[in-house]
Amino acid sequence: MSDDRTGPARPSPIDVLIAHPEPAGRASLHDILRTQPHVRVVAAGGEVGETAAVAERLRPAVILLDDRVTTPDGIGALACRSRVILLTGATGSYDVATLLRMPARGYLVYGNFEPADLLSAVDAVARGLAWMSPVVAAAAVAELRASATRACPSAEPAAHPLARRERQVLDPLTAVLSNAAAAAKLRPAGETVRNHLRRGLAKLGGRDRATAESRRDQR
């Protein structure tokens, strides 16, 4: 009898390029990645030009990129070839929000991730997913909320209570009466009607009678 049982599927191999300005930093990242047999570090360097040239030649699945090694334009160029995980020491909300606008797939903040987090980030990003340190995720949420607030329509002008006489003037006017007809109905001088109208429109934040009618009905 043949045994058709098979073991768990092996993860697909992941080629990784390390770009870090310090030899000790490169060695530390390499030591973490080598604990996973399916992850292969294909190269490691610390210069901007070197990183771009190696990435172009080897086309690794993932680039671990320290933000001191490149520029925003450089990250964009690398992201066209491989999936980038940005390593940064930035923790300020403004700095993190700026980094989030760069085309990386992952964001890891030094001091805010463990070796297991780095390995999970590499696996996730290689599959086309995203990965963020908690401090970066918090900044991303804050940025989304701010964007939603900016997208909201501006609030209506603050409500101002209409004087009784101003409402009496606006009511017939918004019923499609002319200034003269309103004056005849209310029996003040036409100039007085215009004065009440101007004050009423100003309080309602409108420039015409249609706007005045809409906002008056909300009072």
* Residue 121 CB contacts under 8 Å (≥ 6 apart), including other chains: 85, 106, 108, 113, 131
Candidates 181, 186, 177; CA nearest to 209 is 177
Residue 21, pLDDT above cutoff 90: yes
Residue 4, pLDDT above cutoff 90: no
CA pair distance 38, 16, nearest whole angstrom: 11
Residue 181, pLDDT above cutoff 60: no
Q: What is the CATH number of the domain that holds 197?
A: 1.10.10.10
Q: Which helix (H) or strand (E) holds 128?
A: none
Is 182 found in the same domain as 118? no
Is 189 found in the same domain as 126? no
- Identify whether 6 is part of a domain: no
Is 80 found in the same domain as 26? yes
Residue 214, pLDDT above cutoff 60: no
Residue 22, pLDDT above cutoff 50: yes
Is 132 found in the same domain as 27? yes
Residue with tokens 């004087």: 163
Q: Which helix (H) or strand (E) holds 166?
A: helix 164-174
- Identify whether 54 is part of a domain: yes
Give pLDDT, residue 2: 46
Could you read off the pLDDT of 126-177 as tens digits, one per residue? 999 999 998 888 888 887 787 777 766 655 555 556 666 666 655 554 554 4
Is 192 found in the same domain as 134? no
- Identify whether 9 is part of a domain: no
Is 140 found in the same domain as 36? yes
Mean pLDDT of 65-74: 88
Residue 204, pLDDT above cutoff 80: no
Of 120, 148, 176, the residue at which a domain comes to its end is 148
Is 65 found in the same domain as 20? yes
Give pLDDT, residue 151: 67
How confident is residue 35, by pLDDT bands cut at 50, 70 and 90? very high
Mean pLDDT of 16-28: 96
Alpha carbon distances (Å) from 149 to 7, 143, 146, 153: 51, 10, 5, 9
Is 50 found in the same domain as 140? yes
Q: What is the CATH number of the domain that holds 64?
A: 3.40.50.2300
Q: Which residue range is the domain that position 195 belongs to?
A: 164-217
How confident is residue 122, by pLDDT bands cut at 50, 70 and 90? very high
Q: HSE, CB side, 13 Å, CA atoms: give it for residue 86.
A: 26
Which of the residue ranges 2-11, 84-93, 137-146, 207-216 would you say has the lowest mean pLDDT? 207-216
- Identify whether 4 is part of a domain: no
CA pair distance 27, 20, nearest whole angstrom: 9
- Identify whether 122 is part of a domain: yes
Q: Specify whether the CB–CB gap between 97 and 143 falls below 8 A.
A: yes
- Identify whether 157 is part of a domain: no
End-to-end CA distance of the chain: 86
Mean of pLDDT over the chain: 78
Is 111 found in the same domain as 27? yes
How many domains are there within the chain? 2
Give pLDDT, residue 146: 77
Q: With pLDDT > 70 as the criterion, what percentage of the chain qualifies? A: 64
> 55-59, 149-153, 194-198 — which one is most confidently predicted on average?
55-59
